[in-house]
Structure 1
Amino acid sequence: MVQRRFTTFFISSSFSIILIFTIHNIVWRNPHSIVGSFNKEADLNLQSVRRRLVHDVDCRRIIEGDDTEIFFAAELMKRKEFNFITDDELRELAQNCEMFFKIFDYNRFIVSQEELDFPIAFSLIVHKNAVQIERLLRAIYRPHNVYCIHIDRKADSSLHDAIAAVIKCLPNVFIASKLENVIYAGYSRLQADINCMYDLLHYSGVKWKYFINLPAQEYPLKTNAEIVKILKLLNGTCSIESKYHKVFHYRVTQSYWENPKTLKVERRYLRKSPPPHNMTVGKGSAYGAFSRRFVEFALNDERAQDLLKWTEDTYSPDETFWATLAINKHLGTPGIKYTASGVPDRRVWMTTNVAWGYRGNPGCFGQYVREVCVYGVGDLQRLVTEREFFANKFYHDFQPYALMCLEEWLFNKSATTLPFELYYYKKLINPTRYMIRVNLKKRLN
């Protein structure tokens, strides 16, 4: 152990150098083929060999829950200086797309015909840290999907420039046509998603099936292939968290406004009128997996637009707009699965894994920020077994091995053709059909 720690201190901590040295021995195919070379499974026979992206700790042992390795990583992170590349350095790297693809290994994934037949649209809502944004984009990127990035209009120019440089190398990634000055818990946050939805719905290059919105601090727990298989099981059903919470009534019974001087949402102490069309206001997550029909409904239905207008002076409308469309069965919102009692079925809420602090949840090995766990290395063993598509949230410069090890784990899963078991999701999404099959199997045996 002493020798191991001694050796570790002499390892370069430059992120860009680590990436270069971990990929220099890969046979690099033509980087210009990134858009078109994955259309045939015959071209996808990559070597299914596990590669280590992180060398100074053993990520496999950390993810397996090895306490000794987790402790070693925690001690190392206290002493090691991580020199992450800056937004400007990322912009410079992206000036040469061939080098950019090679350094960040955008070719390290397998795309099946099933994925090609089921494209997904993503939006990324970002306001800082181009390096972390690029890492998320790289994890979810596939040439047949489409990606809209909304950059906070008031963000540093270095962020805007870095993202603009990166997307020049990726033809199916674009910046939203209209950018908002996003204020936390304000209507501008919801409007940013709406802007990307409009752009993606009118994007002619990809006829996507589902839309998934993400903040930059999320990271996938499932590969694109796994997400596609689960979404196909959902068969048009949305994964939208929606419930009724009286405790949150203050958000929609009083009027709020975005103060451009303080950059905060502030109460006006004016009582709001009831929501339109006899709606009950729901509470849920700002993030979800939305069917194309749901997106069309949200953007085009007159009642949905009336609701959207009504939420403009509420608190955190991104957590009520989608949920309200879902909870009101009389609206006929497409893609919502209801229980026998007429409420949205929580069994299909599987988009984002969040550990909330105010629920008395002790299961956070990182730190709580605004009552949300920023995950650390001790959280990985649990996260890789969760049902959700994504985990929120990570900071690339907080317990860096947490995100680095999750990246290595997903990186290797994306480069293999290992089967993905769907029995858990089949039982979850359609329990009645599952029990019929179980009983049939018993009769046959």
Structure 2
Amino acid sequence: MKDIAATVNAITSSLAEIAAGNITAAAGKVTTSLVGALGIAVGFLARVARLDGIGAWVQKKLEPIKKAISSAWDKFVAWFKGLVSKGRSRSNATPNATTGNQKDPEHDKKVARGLAQIEREEATIDAKDNDGKLTKAQAEQVARKVRQDNPIFKKILVHYNPKTGTNIAGQHVVNKPEIVYEWFASNGARVSSRKPYTDDLEPAPNEGTKTNPFPLDWPKKASSAYPELYLGERTNPDGTTGPAISGDRNNVQGTIRTLDPHLQNQLPTGETIGITTKWQLDVGTILGPLAPTGVTSPGGGVINSLLKKYGYVPDDEGMDGDHVHEIQLGGQDVLSNLWPLNASMNRSSGSKIDKAAIRLASGKQVYVYQLRELVQKTNRAFYFEVKTVKP
């Protein structure tokens, strides 16, 4: 009975080893145990039948049986290993985990590219309201776009906790939902790149002031490098101008004026546009105070609507009205702070500023969107100095 119990124990313990990945050693152990068990059974039957001296005959007959047992066990091991692997892929969602035996040698690179796109898509979508956080619908939009662009993912699920004060892990959060993107290529889960503000990230009292502002790489051009606009004279009875599309120049009557972004340009119907000195921006410009979380940009509608009367078609031209000083950094929604800019640069700038990293004197790193959460809690004023601009 002890021999039989040992055989059963060898089989069960070996299955556990196979599940853990120790395939070869476990398979050998079970094969030996099964053949040994067969010998035990034959010996037991011989004793019951009172047969003596059949040991050599048994050993000879066991050889082909041993081979058959070994072959059958190998097939069972392969089946059991596959079953365990499938169970793992459904139950484990470890961050950025990928399996080692992929048929596609580019598998891990494709997964990495897809995961990197999550942050870019978050930035693009958040740029529409610049509030530093995503709604569930926006997070699901991120997941759909990444899944569409990266066929390596079988699916991407969004786990969203909108509750103020706690996140899914039960940690304290200030007005910030937690988002987890669970992806299935091999398996894995990626937490949204935005982390909530915590008290250990608070800057020292002399940091981020007007006299000691935080350095900031500006994601847009200097205001002097904003594009010039070209305006023809009246072509329509109501005083407006149609767009001067290619081949249609002769329909624009009179002189075509060049409008400089840094000059005060009066339009035919009396409005004046141009970036005034107060809102002009270049390296060395001080920006602030930083707006709290929840303050959003109204977009460039004020100048877009005005210029449309004169043939300006923002979408067709790849342009959009831009706040030179962003609203979250003390800018105002006034014509003197507005000018058309490349739409992609304009729409991504708010989110890029929010995700700008600031190195504190303590050595810790804080992001602008985290500082906005602190402003919401304490009303503290933070200022920034432009260190670089885009060419």
TM-score (norm 1): 0.24
Bigger radius of gyration? 2
- The structure with the largest strand share of the pair is 2
TM-score (norm 2): 0.26
